[in-house]
């Protein structure tokens, strides 16, 4: 099959356009690849085209840079989305003026904004046990014996001092999530400092999405959320 011949005036016009704007050819990878291949055929099999090899390597590096660029942009958008989500949850968390409303809001509106299936506020107390008064207030609050939080946050490697723990293996106990426990696949645990002369606290979020919380993810936003939550709790406990 022979190529399509251009009339002399068309060929001259095409040549003039390329000379005036070389980017028409240089920015088209398919055209450049075809030109390089034609150049190699013209040089014969015994000649190594170093320029062609260099171009192939540059193309490979360019493709990798483009992939990295796309990944960075996607991560930036995801981080921005997560930041906005945390900010909206915090603003909603600060709305209530009564502690009962604060707990109810935490388990419903805040949980929906954060897209989690369960939120529990865990407080340690020597007098832990079934309390009908607390149960009437909210199913978000859970009072446990001293030492429960340390044990619950521990992993197979032992106790941890980290403020935020993300994991996909949720301890199989119905103390916190009750009947929801078997359906949850990932969890975020945030240790709370409620002030001097007060026992520790814990805020946990559970999700049926195994990829919602997992080791290796950034915890900066959750640490920020936990810090705001601590300050709110100190106000309620004062």
The residue among 119 and 2 whose pLDDT is bigger is 119
Among 28-37, 106-115, 139-148, the least confident range: 28-37
Do the domain assignments include residue 23?
no
**Is 181 within the bounds of a domain?**
yes
Number of CB atoms found within 10 A of residue 213's CB = 24
Per-residue confidence band for 48, with pLDDT thresholds at 50, 70 and 90:
low
> Is 44 within the bounds of a domain?
no
209: helix, strand or coil: coil
Q: What is the mean pLDDT of residues 11-16?
A: 74
In a domain, 80, yes or no: no
Mean pLDDT lowest among 58-67, 108-117, 129-138, 141-150 = 129-138
pLDDT at 1: 41
| Cα dihedral 73, 79, 85, 87 sign | negative
Query: Dihedral of CA 108/113/119/123: which sign?
Result: negative
Confidence of residue 36 (pLDDT cuts 50, 70, 90): low
In a domain, 139, yes or no: yes
Cut 0.75: pTM above it: no
pLDDT at residue 18 in the model: 74
**Residue 158 sits in which domain range?**
98-237
Q: Of 65-69, 122-126, 170-174, where does mean pLDDT reach its minimum? A: 65-69
Q: Is 234 exposed, middle or buried (0-12, 13-18, 19+ CB in 10 A)?
A: middle
- State the total domains in the chain: 1
pLDDT value, residue 190: 94
174 versus 220: the higher-pLDDT residue is 220
CATH number of the domain bearing residue 105: 3.30.450.40
- Whether 122 is in a domain gets the answer yes
Q: For residue 90, is it within any domain? A: no
Q: What are phi and psi of 158, to 5 degrees?
A: 115, -170
Which pLDDT value is given to residue 164?
A: 92
- CA pair distance 137, 104, nearest whole angstrom: 8
Q: Is residue 162 domain-resident?
A: yes
In the predicted structure, residue 33 carries a pLDDT above the cut 80? no
């Amino acid at each position: 099959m022979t190529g399509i011949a251009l009339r002399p005036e068309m060929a001259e016009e095409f040549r003039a356009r390329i000379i005036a704007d070389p980017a028409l050819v240089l920015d088209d990878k398919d055209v450049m690849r075809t030109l390089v291949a034609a150049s190699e055929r013209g040089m014969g099999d015994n000649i190594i085209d170093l320029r062609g090899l260099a171009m192939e390597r540059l193309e490979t590096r360019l493709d990798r840079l483009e992939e990295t660029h796309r990944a960075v942009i996607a991560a930036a958008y995801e981080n921005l989305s997560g930041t906005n989500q945390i900010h909206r949850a915090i603003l909603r968390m600060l709305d209530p003026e009564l502690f009962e409303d604060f707990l109810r809001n935490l388990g419903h509106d805040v949980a929906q904004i954060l897209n989690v299936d369960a939120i529990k506020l865990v407080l340690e107390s020597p007098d832990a046990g079934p309390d009908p008064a607390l149960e009437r207030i909210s199913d978000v609050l859970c009072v446990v014996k001293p030492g429960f939080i340390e044990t619950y946050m521990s992993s197979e490697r032992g106790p941890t001092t980290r403020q935020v723990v993300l994991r996909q293996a949720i301890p199989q106990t119905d103390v916190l999530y009750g009947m929801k426990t078997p359906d949850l696949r990932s969890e975020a645990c945030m240790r709370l400092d409620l002030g001097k002369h007060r026992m520790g606290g814990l805020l946990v979020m559970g999700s049926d999405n195994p990829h919602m919380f997992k080791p290796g993810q950034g915890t900066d936003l959750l640490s920020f959320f936990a810090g705001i939550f601590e300050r709110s709790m100190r106000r309620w406990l004062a």
